[in-house]
Amino acid sequence: MALTLICPNLVCGQTIVAPESSRGKVVRCAHCQKAFMVPINAKSVTSEQPEAPKPGKKPRK
Ligand SMILES: [Zn+2]
């Protein structure tokens, strides 16, 4: 899971993808280098990684 943010820098406005763990922390925009805080309630998006089947569940009689 990752967070999708919009850079608060009006002249930038780029979409930034930050890890879920960056909530409430300061991140830096990769485009304009502006540092800003990630809102606690930032929207999360599913990553592009496909869901892997969970190992460990063995069929049992
Ligand atoms: Zn920016």
pLDDT tens series, the chain, 61 aa: 789 999 999 999 999 999 999 999 999 999 999 999 998 988 777 655 556 667 777 777 7
Tokens 């409430």 belong to residue:
24
Residue 33 CA to ligand 1 centre (angstroms): 6
Helix (H) / strand (E) containing 23: none
Residue 38 CA to ligand 1 centre (angstroms): 13
Q: Is the pTM of this model over 0.75?
A: no
Domain that holds residue 22: 2-45
Residue 13 CA to ligand 1 centre (angstroms): 6
Task: Return the structure tokens found at 4.
Answer: 């999708």
**Is residue 12 situated within a structural domain?**
yes
**Is residue 54 situated within a structural domain?**
no
Closest CA to 32 of 4, 51, 53, 13: 13
User: What does the alpha-carbon distance between residue 49 and residue 56 come to, in Å, rounded to a whole number?
Assistant: 20
Residues 6 or more apart whose Cβ sits within 8 Å of residue 53: none
**Is residue 59 situated within a structural domain?**
no
User: How many independent structural domains does the chain possess?
Assistant: 1
**Is residue 40 situated within a structural domain?**
yes
Residue 57 CA to ligand 1 centre (angstroms): 44
